[in-house]
Amino acid sequence: MQSTEPPRFSPILVLFFGVLGISSGSILVRLAQGQDMPSLVIAAWRLTLASAVLLPLAISRRREELSHMSRSAWGLALLSGFMLALHFATWITSLAYTSVASSTVLVTTTPLWVGLAAPFLLKERLSSALKIGIVLAMFGSVLIGVADVVAVVEGRLLFSLTAFTNQINPLQGNVLALGGAFAASAYLIIGRHLRHGMSLLTYTAVVYSSAACFLLAMALAAGHDLVGYSASAYLIMMMMALFPQLIGHSSYNWALGHLPAATVSVAVIGEPIGATILALLIFHEIPGIITLTGSMLLLAGIVYSSRPARRSTVPELE
C-alpha cells in the first residue's frame, strides 16, 4: 500500500534527483580511496556524517514518534540498518578491485532480487510494463558489465577477465558488488514495510545511525584508523554524506512511501548511467559502444517501468 497522503512533489521527479545524487557515490569513493582511506572507513564516515545531520533533527522534531516506535519496528529498523551497512561495506570495497562500470552495474541488479521477492514478501503485484522494464534494464546492465571483459580486435570478439582492464581483481570486486546488491534488496524491502507507518526523517535517522554504528564496528574490528587522513579526504567524505547519501538515498526512501518497492528499485539502476557520465567529465573515461548501448537500454527500462506509476499511483494520491 502507498501512502494515503498526497505527495508534495512528484515521486518520479524525486527519484530523478535521487539518481543524480547517488550517481556521484562511486566517483567520490574512488577519490577517497586515492587518498589512502580504507573502504570500510569510507563507508563508516559516509553514514556517520549523514547520521550526524539527521539524528539531532529526528530527536528534536520526531521525539514523540521515536518514543512510540514498537519493539518490532525497532527490530526491523536495526535489521534494515545492518543490511544498509553490509551493502556499503561490500560495494565500496568492490570499487578497490573492479571498474566503476562493473561495480555499479552489479550492485544495481537490486531490481531483479526485489522484483522476485516483492510478490511474496510485500504482496505487491508486478505489472507487465514493470516486468518488461526490469528485463530491458537488466539486459542493459549485463552489457555494461561485459564491457570490461570483452573487446573487438581486428574483427574478432575477445574475452578476458584481465586483459582489457587495469583493475586489481575484477572477479573479486564483482562478487563483492553482487553481494552489495543482495543486501540492498533486503534494505529496500524492509524499508518499504517500515515507511508505510513511519515518517521519512524518523526512518532515515534510525536506519542511517544504526548502519553507521555497524560500519564503525566493522572498521575498528578490521584494525583501521578512523582519523588521521588528509583534509581532502574528509572533504570528500562530507560531499559523500551530502550528495549520494542525504540527497540520493533519502530521495529513494521518500519515494518508498508513495511507490511500489520494485518501481523504486528500478530507478536505482540509473546509477550506472550517471556514474558513466560523471566518470567521463571528471576522469575523461570515454565509454565504448557496448557501454553506451547498455546505458540506453537501462534508460529505456527506467522510463518504461515508470509509466504505470505516473498513470495510476500518482493520480490516486492527488
Q: For residues 78-100, give the mean pLDDT.
A: 93
Q: What are the extents of the domains in the chain? A: 12-310
Residue 303's pLDDT is what?
67
Dihedral (Cα; 233, 236, 237, 239), 10-degree rounding: 160
CA angle 15, 21, 24 (to 5 degrees): 140
Query: Is pLDDT at 92 greater than 50 in this prediction?
Result: yes
Q: For residues 127-131, give the mean pLDDT.
A: 75
Dihedrals φ, ψ of 156, to 5°?
A: -110, 140
pTM: 0.78
Query: Is pLDDT at 191 greater than 90 in this prediction?
Result: no
Condensed to tens digits (0 to 9), the pLDDT of residues 234-256 reads: 999 999 888 887 788 778 777 77
Q: Give the integer Cα–Cα distance in Å for 143 and 102.
A: 10
Q: How far is CA 247 from CA 3, 6, 18, 256, in A?
A: 21, 21, 6, 14
Report residue 268's pLDDT band, with 50, 70 and 90 as the boundaries.
Answer: low
What single-letter DSSP state applies at residue 229?
A: -
Would you say the C-alpha torsion 131, 147, 272, 92 has a positive or negative sign? positive
C-alpha cell at 48: 556517520
Condensed to tens digits (0 to 9), the pLDDT of residues 210-233 reads: 999 999 999 999 999 999 999 999
C-alpha cell at 2: 502507498
Residue 221's pLDDT is what?
97
